[in-house]
Amino acid sequence: MKRTLIALAATLAATAALAQAQYPDKPVTIVVPFAAGGPTDKVARDFAEVLRKGLNNQTVIIENVGGAGGTLGAGKVAKAAPDGHTLLLHHIGMATSPGLYRSLPYKTLDDFEYLGMINEVPMTLIGRSTLPANNYAELVKWLEANKGKINLANAGLGAASHLCGLLFQQSVKIDMTTVPYKGTGPAMTDLLGGQVDIMCDQTTNTTGQIEAGKVKAFAVTTTKRLTTPALAKLPTLDESGLKGFNLTIWHGLYTPKGTPKAVQDQLNAALRNALKDPEFIKRQEGLGAVVVTDARLAP
């Protein structure tokens, strides 16, 4: 009996070592649960470049599985093989969706291994360039005057843009028609085209458009003004009259439940390594985001 146990322990140790030695043995896919071109996609593509350095330079592919506020993509990863070759890069929706959806295609706490946080991202309130308002006070006047006709774009139930939009509507006490997209990438395309009026979206998606003058920017959602040059002039919603308005979102990395511990450790080390990359930090800061200093709550 004792011998059998020793043999079993040796086999398990050898299997774990083998998993570590061989991982990754094919391209790693990061599922982004939103459309391409949006804020989470931008973070993921930037992050993939640095993550691969910690994964023997293996190719890291982005797969966009947008829809239903990020829950479809998360559901896909929950059912993927737990071998570390399919990862999920998701945001605050991971925590808020269980409270917003009657049923989800996954169990938030049971179906994933949590690898760590990546960044924190503030949001901005922006509008189409043809809006007659040029600052927050003028925006509120325009909203008041156009009650019942305002279209507010978002990335679906539970997405950051949806939550921010709801909080904003509640704070200014004006109901708007919410227009859901598979991500704020396509929502931004419609905002640029003037098909929708306003949107609350992450700075990783809005900074470039604000800088280029393609959208009107009214405020940031943090209680402190931001330091990123293109965003520094924007007032906070808090100082603009919505006292206490404070919203920042985070992104984290997950792998399906049951991924071998050795693979999780390797992924966590690659994640920590990526978070220290000066170029990654610089690029994220240029988009208003803050890279976390360590992989919090990591194994």
Q: Which residues bind to ligand ASP, rule: CB under 6 A?
A: 34-35, 38-41, 91, 155, 159-161, 183-185
Q: Which is nearer to ligand ASP, 24 or 73 (CB)?
A: 73
Strands 248-256 and 86-91: antiparallel
Residue 246, class by beta-carbon neighbours within 10 Å (0-12 exposed, 13-18 middle, 19+ buried)?
Answer: middle
State the DSSP code for 296: T
Q: Minimum CB separation from ligand ASP for residue 211, in Å?
A: 19
Query: Could you give the angle at which helices 2-22 and 261-275 cross, rounded to 10 degrees?
Result: 30
CB nearer ligand ASP, residue 54 or residue 69? 69
In the complex with ligand ASP, which residue's Cβ is closer, 41 or 238? 41
Q: Which two tokens stand for residue 99?
A: 């409270």
Q: Around Cβ 112, how many Cβ atoms within 10 Å?
A: 25
Which amino acid would we find at residue 80? A
User: Cis before residue 33, ω within 30 degrees of 0?
Assistant: no
Kindly state the smallest distance separating residue 178's Cβ from ligand ASP, in Å: 12
Q: Which candidate, 139, 146, 65, places its Cα nearest to that of 106?
A: 65
* Shortest spacing between CB 257 and ligand ASP, in angstroms: 23
The Cα 186–Cα 44 span in angstroms is 17
Name the residue nearer to ligand ASP (CB basis): 94 or 160. 160
User: Which neighbouring-strand residues pair with 202?
Assistant: 123
Q: Work out how close the CB of 168 gets to ligand ASP at its nearest, in angstroms, rounded to a whole number.
A: 13
* Cα-based torsion angle of the residue sequence 5, 6, 7, 11 in order, rounded to the nearest 10 degrees: 100
Q: Where are the beta strands (DSSP E) in 106-158?
A: 112-128, 151-154
Comparison of 94 and 271: residue with beta carbon closer to ligand ASP: 94
52/251 with CB nearer ligand ASP: 251
Please state the length of the chain: 299
**Contact present, 205 and 188 (Cβ < 8 Å):** yes
Nearer to ligand ASP, 60 or 249 (CB): 249
CB of 202 to ligand ASP, least distance (A): 6
Q: How far is the CB of 47 from ligand ASP (least distance, A)?
A: 13
- Least distance to ligand ASP, CB of residue 136, Å: 21
